[in-house]
Structure 1
């Protein structure tokens, strides 16, 4: 009713404006007719208003010239529809072609003129079989897109060995159309470099999402299995469009109830929605489940009763879900139960579960994120210390899931030293897409450069060129089982991720999961074109803004290798003074170690010696303060405030400059966005303008609070030309945030 009132009021105002502008008062009938016409127009505009729901799959009509050129290559569609995956492939192509080209694209059995799009596999399409294309090295998921001819007619062929490969290729073809790429002379060959490309949902059964900033969980467990929200299908479409083929449905801080028959029926229903899109479901499991829901008195992985319970549970799951992917496990970390409770190793625990899954083809993704409050060693060292001695002791269907850095998804970390250190064990990358430490939903922080930075880093484990990407894709150590995981940023917000620009992080993760050597700038370029506009006057400045955004966050939050400087528990905002956590390694003071004389965590050979966990050449570089990249300076070294950087600035001067530069960069991004007003839809434009305003205020808060605290320790004046914090330190220390989203 309120919406109708708003529309009627708007229509009435426009009629009045017409009368004022023309000096004419319309007769009652004419005024009513004009009002109704305007109202219809307003309803139409409201119905087509953009709200971010379509993500990067906006199949809006191309400009006339581009559409006309593209129609020459998409006159008809020739695609099989015998299997569920073939059906969704055909539906997606029909939806995309009809929307982009502005007219219906007929489906036929064979091309009768130039311009057909032919899709399929040698077994599903006689036309594809006749072409005898070389698909041998494409595997199950790969595809070819080629301009060729059939019976003298020019066609565009999307060919694969499997239905899901044809689906991926169809999305690629639609991407070419969306980004206005030429369709002549196509010869594209694509295959993923990683086998498992998974989203980890930190979603709890009560609907809360741990570290989620886009509303509640998209899984409505209470209504499953009977109600299948159409959003589940759109989720599957979005993931398939970027090659994601797995979803861990529940939080790594798992609840044993997910393995009960009640919830397994719900999981089965979700698996049925995702399956046609090539997506397998996985579950996070609690190690103590045999006790909590199985009636056993122990969860000891070497106990025959426990082993039998897990075998029976795996059999039960696969009877319901034959293509179930496997288990994700967080054990003996942050208070979670695990094999060490029974004086067993991580390998003992992982192998027990792996043996239960192996007959069904399932895998165990065992997280290497472990640290204990009983262990007083540098937290950055603990995962390596626990897992390095276990190299080669895991079953063949076990992957170790390793976070990109040794602490916890910070704005910047050096690569995790486990990469390159366990040649006998497949390692699976774990990135965080949700921005737990990078400004939640409102700060623009495009994470493509962060992902690319990590993947391209050279571990030097086997000489030059031993990049992290080559570790996880199996090239370096010849592993067949490979994978990557990203902690999802998805929720029930209409735009899925809490802001339109956060969608880019989901998108970039998927594209880099498919090809870990891809360019994050190229990915951003595609995303902007598909999500907003192909207008170069819009694309170029927005891509530039995105590419600078993560570095801006690093500057105003954690410059020069500082890390873990956020508020306790909620992780919202700066709190470098905080020493109040229940354990030392949850507090900022543990990490910055600042005092009157200096700042930084000494992880050199004279400190915790965390540098020794890297390959010798890398270790020597990180150990030498003069050779340590300044981006990691305070990660590895405790230095006096007067230490001179390569720029000639003192450490204190450089810190202040970085904090200030971060704020200035946000101001610059905000100014860039303001110049783009009118180039995209008003709703999405205004939302991002508001969010950039929030980001600028909070960047200033980070800068001022951090400088005020460190200045209270070192007593140094600000460098000339820099403004002092807006408030005294006591003001920043007094701020509390008990109700921010994503609280632990």
Structure 2
């Protein structure tokens, strides 16, 4: 049997070589999408070798030096040979990189009007003829723009773009493109599932881990220009001299890559590490403390980005502890960093136990403060009004704050999507959030237009992603978890990109170009989010998770200190039906939306089925679009979610042998876990909701293997056993 398997592997290798496909080899995933293996397609390789015989680059800055290193590394790998680098133009087809001030050749092309259109971070990639020779040009106004252009050029090569008619003008649509690391100073990571924190605080600032540079390279390749180093549930010690000096080393490493560092700030830091008796934002001593602290930080980190603050939320202290508003609290910090060009990102994730509907809290608390925040404050709003659920309607704060800079917060880490054990590509979710129409200024007032500033002309625009990185060798735990980091960066730069297009890029850059691999992998990615919704929270159900870890199902959760921490608070299942009434007959949360949006959700019969139970308490016998009753449709969706995962497994099995064995086997094993978990979710939820509908599981569906009581007990132990 072993000899037979070896023979099959040998024949496969010969077959792949005969097709001109590079032999698959072990790859642990560390290189992410920055794999620079030689291009296997001979025609493409010949075109690129002919077009790029020299690199012309004057690396007279740290950033241009990084561009030189990356382009040299990338081209030598992709083209299979070293490409000479010069500072002077020669009479050979060359790749010219730089700015008008760093490159005489670029200065001679008179690109000022075109360069003006791409701003400080954008770039041009074009073909130009100079002295009778054809050259490729990466031109920018700034060194970091040239770096971004270099990474994009390598992306074009890795995706086999034809260079004959290349003409790219690219600029970021959003100003602040930031990763939020929920990393603690003890190196644990809240909602992190890929190992301990990247930041080795005990050895900083003396030891410079090479991984820090690779992290910066990966972010710069996507145009991510900021990173918040510590958890929003902030340890006040982050603002001490000890940790400022440690963070300075990271800032020094990140700076040439165009990345600023930010700190999450604990609002009670003046008391807890500053020795004051109060943290009241209107106290003059407190105000001076923050100004002195900002001066201290900027002395060490001249390009420090500013603060991220979680205040008066989930036990975190804030200005309301002193009877002050969020605006009064945020503005004191904003005044401290303003002289240095810093910003304050103030999170709008707030909810109180007294609120009838947690959905309403953020809007009710912040809309009355519109226009009262300083210009260098950005209100950071999650995509939905609850908490990064598999599907949520867009947060009503988007479009409701014309006088307050507003940024979008997305979750890259999979807190509610099976951690790093489930394959869940967030492309459809992110695009759903970005393309949601707020109607704030009529049709077409999308969330994307709110956060890019085109709707309200904000002073600052931003987007944040809660990072999914850790010390796991492949950075994200699940090999496909890398795609969500990549996705966030690409959409932060250009939110008009499609989810499918980004998935295609990532697959080709991370694995290979074989269509027999690319297409099934892309199909798996594109169906994975909806599959996760179906076996967890179909038809607008939400927050059915076990509390604490948020991994497995626990729709029966009811006995907790706060009702909005329970599952029954959200689904409200009873003998009559299921769902949360947010119309005028219930919490009336829909009044927070513009009339056009309210109209979409107001009537049960008109509400899109994916949001039906978000906004209505629906009778079990309500007729759905399929002709099924609500109960029958709910069961069908849960079972369909499991079948979706099985389809994903079959598609993955079809690509065996087309990539390295290590990553193939890893994903295969994780998909087995995902199928088991999907069945667990399906059986637990269907059996539990059946106790209210009092209706049988329709014929044709496999019956749950165990009783409801079994799944209730499983919830108490399964997470621990799994992790």
* Aligned-partner SS, 2:419: coil
Q: 1:356 corresponds to which residue?
A: 336
The change in CA–CA distance for 1:477 and 1:743 in structure 2 (over 3 A counts) is farther
Give secondary structure in 1 for the equivalent of 2:75. helix
* Deviation per residue, 1:596-646 (Å, 9 max, x gap): 221001111110000000011111221111111110000000011111112
What is the aligned length?
704
Distance change (3 Å), C-alpha of 1:657 and 1:232 = same
State how far apart, in whole Å, the 2-side matches of 1:357 and 1:381 are.
31
Gap change, CA 1:112 and 1:46, over 3 Å in 2: closer
The aligned counterpart of 2:599 is 620
- Rounded Cα–Cα distance in structure 2 between residues aligned with 1:461 and 1:712: 42
State whether residues 570 and 742 of structure 1, in contact with CA within 8 Å, keep that contact through their aligned partners in structure 2: no
Q: Alignment partner for residue 212 of structure 1, among 157, 173, 192? A: 192
Per-residue deviation, 1:579: 1.0
Displacement over 4 Å in runs of 4+: 45-48, 736-744
Partner of 1:315: 295
From 52, 65, 72, give the equivalent of 2:29. 52
Q: Shift of residue 480 of structure 1?
A: 3.1
Q: Give the deviation of 1:580 after TM superposition.
A: 2.6
Deviations 1:653-699 (A, max 9, x none): 10011001111011001000001000000000010011111111111
Residue 153 of structure 1, CA deviation = 1.2
Q: Which runs of 5+ in 2 are unaligned?
A: 11-21
Q: Which residue of 1 aligns with 2:384?
A: 405
Whether 1:304 and 2:284 are equivalent positions in the alignment is: yes
Aligned to 2:531: 552
Kindly indicate whether residue 104 of structure 2 is the aligned counterpart of residue 126 of structure 1: yes
Match of 1:202 in 2: 182
Using the TM superposition, give the Cα deviation of residue 570 of structure 1 relative to its aligned residue in structure 2, in angstroms: 0.6
SS at 1:657 equivalent: helix
Q: Residue 251 of structure 2 corresponds to which residue in structure 1? A: 271
1:506-537 deviation line (CA, Å, top 9, x unaligned) = 00010000011211110000000000111112
Partner of 2:359: 380
Is the Cα contact below 8 Å between 2:435 and 2:446 reproduced in 1? yes
Task: Tell me which residue corresponds to 1:339.
Answer: 319
- Contact 1:412 / 1:450 at 8 angstroms: preserved in 2? yes
By how many angstroms is 1:713 displaced? 2.2
Question: Which of 109, 113, 126 is matched with 2:87 structurally?
Answer: 109
Matched, 1:186 2:166: yes
Aligned to 1:576, the other structure's residue is in SS state coil
Work out the CA distance in 1 between the residues paired with 2:717 and 2:312.
28
SS of the equivalent of 1:78 reads strand
Secondary structure (helix, strand or coil) at the match of 2:362 reads helix
What is the aligned counterpart of 1:428 among 403, 407, 415? 407
- Paired with 2:150 and 2:561, the residues of 1 have a C-alpha distance of 52
SS in 1 for 2:374: coil
Give unmatched runs, 5+ long, in structure 1: 1-12, 22-44
1:31 is matched with which residue?
none
Alpha-carbon distance in 2 for matches of 1:563, 1:352 = 37
Q: How has the CA–CA distance of structure 1 residues 742 and 110 changed in structure 2, closer, same or farther, with 3 Å as cutoff?
A: farther
Map of 1:600 onto structure 2 = 579
C-alpha distance in 1 between matches for 2:720 and 2:127 = 49
Q: Distance in 2 between matches of 1:672 and 1:729?
A: 32
Corresponding residue for 1:467? 446
The separation in 1 between residues aligned to 2:699 and 2:712, in whole angstroms, is 26
Corresponding residue number in structure 1 for 2:15:
none
Residue 111 of structure 1 deviates from its aligned partner by 3.5
Seen in structure 2, the aligned counterparts of structure 1 residues 604 and 335 have a Cα distance that, compared at 3 Å, is same
| Distance of 2:128 and 2:720 partners within structure 1 | 53
Distance 1:162 1:737, change over 3 A: farther
Any idea what SS the aligned residue of 1:386 has? helix
Distance 2:128 2:147 in 1: 19
| Partner in structure 1 of residue 235 of structure 2 | 255
How far apart are 1:649 and its partner, in Å?
1.0
Offset, 1:595: 1.3
Partner of 1:735: 714
| Deviation larger for 579-588 or 265-274 | 579-588
Query: CA–CA distance in 2 between the matches of 1:619 and 1:652?
Result: 26
The answer to whether the 8 A contact 2:624-2:630 is kept is: yes
RMSD across aligned positions (CA): 1.9
Deviation at residue 737 of structure 1 after TM alignment: 5.2
For 1:712, what is the secondary structure of its paired residue? Answer: helix
Match of 1:80 in 2: 58
User: Residues 157-176 of structure 1 correspond to what in structure 2 (within 5 A)?
Assistant: 157-176=137-156
> Which of 471, 478, 493 is the matching residue for 2:457?
478
Distance 2:240 2:313 in 1: 24
1:240 aligns with 2:220: yes
Q: Is 2:303 the partner of 1:328?
A: no
Q: CA deviation at 1:328?
A: 0.1
**Aligned mates of 2:138, 2:205 — CA distance in 1:** 35
Q: What is aligned with 1:94?
A: 72
Contact 1:211/1:741, CA 8 A, preserved across alignment: no
- Cα shift at 1:46: 14
Look up the match of 1:713. Answer: 692
Preserved CA contact (<8 Å) 1:122 1:128 = yes
Distance 1:235 1:740 in 2: 30
1:716–1:47 Cα change, 3 Å: closer
| SS of aligned partner of 1:72 | helix
Whole-Å separation in 2 of the counterparts to 1:457 and 1:105: 46
TM-score (ref. length: structure 2): 0.95
Q: Does 1:676 align with 2:675?
A: no
Partner of 1:30: none
Instruction: Return the match for 1:138 from 92, 102, 118.
Output: 118
The one of 230, 253, 271 equivalent to 2:210 is 230
TM-score normalized with structure 1 length: 0.93
